[in-house]
Amino acid sequence: MLAAYRANLGRGCESVREIILEDIRRFSEMGASSYVDDLTEALYMFDEEAIVNAYPHWRSMSIPSIGH
């Protein structure tokens, strides 16, 4: 599913994100909760990829545990 959205990256990351959000709204209004769940997961993965691509040095960072 995410691959179909990646095909629109020529429009920019923010545009692709808006397309996904609009699809979530539309399918939510239709009551297609399973599809909304899938789209929400696709949005999460898209955002994660966008952050990693924007800040590649974060890949090598270790995140300390808090309170353990």
pLDDT tens per residue, range 2-22: 888 989 888 988 999 999 999
User: What CA–CA distance (Å, rounded) separates 53 from 58?
Assistant: 9
Predicted local distance difference test score (pLDDT) of residue 1? 82
User: What CA–CA distance (Å, rounded) separates 25 from 36?
Assistant: 8
Predicted local distance difference test score (pLDDT) of residue 62? 61
Domain ranges for the chain:
2-56
Rounded to a whole number of angstroms, the distance between the first and last alpha carbons of the chain is: 38
65 falls in which pLDDT band (50, 70, 90)?
Answer: low
Q: Cβ atoms within 10 A of the Cβ of 32, count?
A: 13
Q: pLDDT per residue over 19-56, tens digit each? A: 999 999 999 999 999 999 999 999 999 988 887 777 77
Under 8 Å between Cβ of 3 and 42: no
